[in-house]
Structure 1
Amino acid sequence: MKKVIFVVTTLLLVALGWYLFLKPSDFTISFKVKTTPGTVIQSVKAWDLSLENSKIIAQYNFDALVQQRSIEGSTINYTYRFYAVNDSTTKVSVGVKDLDNSIYNKLTIPFADTDFEKKSAKDINAFYTILKKHLSELKINITGIESTPATYCAYVKLEGLQIEKAKGMMQNYGYIGDILAANNVAFNGPPFVEITNWDIKTDSISYNFCFPIIKSDSLPQAKDIRYKQLQKTEAIHAVYNGNYITSDRAWYALIAYAKRNNISIEQNPLEVFFNNPNMGGNELDWKADIYMPLRKDTLN
């Protein structure tokens, strides 16, 4: 009998020690949302920029993200973890930990609805509301494997954060278009963006902003305008409707689709834009074709 008591007591002490000192969060909040982990990650980052004394301190691919906030003198970590429920739904688990009062919280939360718990739940609910509104402002429809456009084009090389891509397009739309039009260059379709490098950890991209044109022997020469032939390739295709600032949400949907279907891809998306953002209008009417190329060594 003494051995049983000793074993039970030891297990209880080990469990208590883990709970008080090793458990990574004081408590956890979970919710499900119809989108990809990548879109939730970008939404957390956008929300974080609107908050005071808040920053993203770690990201683990598409599996987890850590946000650290300073609230009323305490340093609080929000650890977001992402789990695919099915093809269209992600479970988000948010572990909340007050780095300055963790043991106190763990001792009190099981027995009462503490102010810390209520305030943290209110914050996560505020983010959830923002996320749902964001998802209502865009649509993504993946159609399968298609060929990217093949065309000669004029382009400028740009780089920056993903969120700055639409700004770069708007700043150069009139510049490139006016030079080509002034020299009677024949256009050959809507403009597109060719991503040449994507650093997922830093959300930074290098890209070419391109205008399809008919090749001729008298193309205008400008300091930063270049010309090249874009070859077609096989890619997973999606139709995106929404503000072009967040067209990268389709990138994450295409990556998730490729993972689910065991398709090897190059993470250098191509985006074809059918609307001029400078003209405004209902953003859900804006359309873009988004392509995620298949890995070249998988093509026949």
Structure 2
Amino acid sequence: MKKTILTVFGILLIIAVWYFFIKSHDYQVNFTIKALPGTINQSVKTWNRQLNSEFPIVQSSLTEFQQKLKFSDSVHTYNWNISMLNDSVSKVKIYARDDIHSYTNKLLIPFVDTDFEKRTRKSILDFSGKLKEHLNKFKVTIVGEEDLKSTFCAYIQVKGTQYEKANGMMLNYPLLDGILSENKVQLNGMPFVEVVDWNMSNDSITYNFCYPIVRSENLPVYPELKYKRFFGKKALKAIYNGNYITSDRAWYALLKYARNENISIKETPIEYFFNNPNMGGNELEWKAEVYLPIEETYED
């Protein structure tokens, strides 16, 4: 009898030590949604900016990252984990912890619905609602393999984040368009963005904002303006409809398609834009063609 009591006590002690001192979260919230991990990842970051959080997202990978939100006298840590259930549906797990009152929450949660649990559910419900709204505002259609044509172009190189890409284009549009128009340079196609570096760990990108032009001997010379030949290549293509701020949703869709089809690609997206956002209109009618170059293979 005594041995049984000691065994039970030992098991309870181990559980208590794990629960209070080893378990990293106080509460867990799960939901499933028809969205890719990249879209969810970027949407959490947008939501974090909208909340004016003083803490940046700390990212381990596209599917695992940490968010901190300040509520009155405490800081809540949300550890996000995203996994795909199938080609279109993701399961999202949020492991929540109150950094100041963790032990108190762990003591109370088995017995009462704490303010921390209510706040966490409310926050995640708010986010999931915004995510669903966002998903209704864009569309990505995978086309498949296509050959990009070579062209000569004038361009300005820009550095920023994925979220800042559209704004960077708008800021440089008057300069690029103004110089070419003023000097009567003949355009030769739709403007496009050529990403030359994409750091997915911090969302930073370096890209060339390009205008295809007819090459001549009298092209204007300006410090910010450069010229080059964009060489054609084989690439995976998608059609994106929606606000150009979030056209990177097509990048993630193409990455997933490439993985599913076992196609080696370069993570340097190229985007051709067919609408002028300054003209307004229904954003779902805005169109961009988005490409990911396919790695070249050489046979012996």
Superposition pairs of residues 26-65 of structure 1, within 5 angstroms: 26-65=26-65
User: Residue 100 of structure 1 aligns to a residue in which SS?
Assistant: coil
271-280 or 143-152: bigger deviation: 143-152
The answer for the alignment partner of 1:123 in structure 2 is 123
Deviation (angstroms), 1:183: 3.0
Deviation (angstroms), 1:7: 4.2
When residues 183 and 287 of structure 1 are mapped into structure 2, their CA distance, relative to the original with a 3 A threshold, is same
The answer for the alignment partner of 1:66 in structure 2 is 66
The answer for the alignment partner of 1:95 in structure 2 is 95
Superposed CA deviations along residues 8-53 of structure 1, whole A, max 9, x for unmatched, are 4433322222122111211111111111111111111111112244
Quote the Cα distance in structure 2 between the aligned partners of 1:3 and 1:138: 64
Quote the Cα distance in structure 2 between the aligned partners of 1:33 and 1:168: 31
CA contact (8 A) 2:41 2:63 kept: no
Superposed CA deviations along residues 106-130 of structure 1, whole A, max 9, x for unmatched, are 2221222112111110011001111
User: Residue 92 of structure 1 aligns to a residue in which SS?
Assistant: strand
Quote the Cα distance in structure 1 between the aligned partners of 2:299 and 2:198: 22
Q: Is 2:179 the counterpart of 1:142? A: no
Quote the Cα distance in structure 2 between the aligned partners of 1:209 and 1:136: 28
- CA RMSD of superposed structures (Å): 2.0
CA contact (8 A) 1:194 1:270 kept: yes
When residues 122 and 83 of structure 1 are mapped into structure 2, their CA distance, relative to the original with a 3 A threshold, is same
The answer for the alignment partner of 1:255 in structure 2 is 255
The answer for the alignment partner of 1:280 in structure 2 is 280
Identity value in percent: 46
Deviation (angstroms), 1:158: 1.1
Deviation (angstroms), 1:299: 9.0
Quote the Cα distance in structure 2 between the aligned partners of 1:103 and 1:260: 44
Deviation (angstroms), 1:178: 3.0
Deviation (angstroms), 1:57: 4.5
CA contact (8 A) 1:179 1:220 kept: yes
Quote the Cα distance in structure 2 between the aligned partners of 1:165 and 1:212: 19
User: Residue 55 of structure 2 aligns to a residue in which SS?
Assistant: strand
Quote the Cα distance in structure 2 between the aligned partners of 1:116 and 1:63: 25
Deviation (angstroms), 1:236: 1.6
TM-score, normalization by structure 1: 0.93
Aligned amino acid, residue 290 of structure 2: I
User: Residue 109 of structure 2 aligns to a residue in which SS?
Assistant: helix
CA contact (8 A) 2:144 2:237 kept: yes
18-27 or 47-56: bigger deviation: 47-56
Superposition pairs of residues 87-236 of structure 1, within 5 angstroms: 87-236=87-236
When residues 225 and 20 of structure 1 are mapped into structure 2, their CA distance, relative to the original with a 3 A threshold, is same
Deviation (angstroms), 1:230: 0.9
CA contact (8 A) 1:48 1:54 kept: no
Could you tell me which runs of 5 or more consecutive residues in structure 1 were left unpaired when the two chains were aligned. none
Aligned amino acid, residue 110 of structure 2: P
The answer for the alignment partner of 1:13 in structure 2 is 13
The answer for the alignment partner of 2:246 in structure 1 is 246
CA contact (8 A) 2:62 2:201 kept: no
User: Residue 56 of structure 2 aligns to a residue in which SS?
Assistant: strand
User: Residue 184 of structure 1 aligns to a residue in which SS?
Assistant: coil
Deviation (angstroms), 1:216: 2.2
Quote the Cα distance in structure 2 between the aligned partners of 1:25 and 1:285: 43
Quote the Cα distance in structure 2 between the aligned partners of 1:184 and 1:57: 46
Deviation (angstroms), 1:267: 1.0
When residues 266 and 299 of structure 1 are mapped into structure 2, their CA distance, relative to the original with a 3 A threshold, is farther
Quote the Cα distance in structure 2 between the aligned partners of 1:173 and 1:82: 37
CA contact (8 A) 2:59 2:202 kept: no
Deviation (angstroms), 1:197: 1.0
TM-score, normalization by structure 2: 0.93
The answer for the alignment partner of 1:267 in structure 2 is 267
Could you tell me which runs of 5 or more consecutive residues in structure 2 were left unpaired when the two chains were aligned. none
When residues 279 and 266 of structure 1 are mapped into structure 2, their CA distance, relative to the original with a 3 A threshold, is same
The answer for the alignment partner of 1:81 in structure 2 is 81
Deviation (angstroms), 1:66: 0.6
When residues 84 and 290 of structure 1 are mapped into structure 2, their CA distance, relative to the original with a 3 A threshold, is same
Aligned amino acid, residue 189 of structure 2: G
213-222 or 161-170: bigger deviation: 213-222
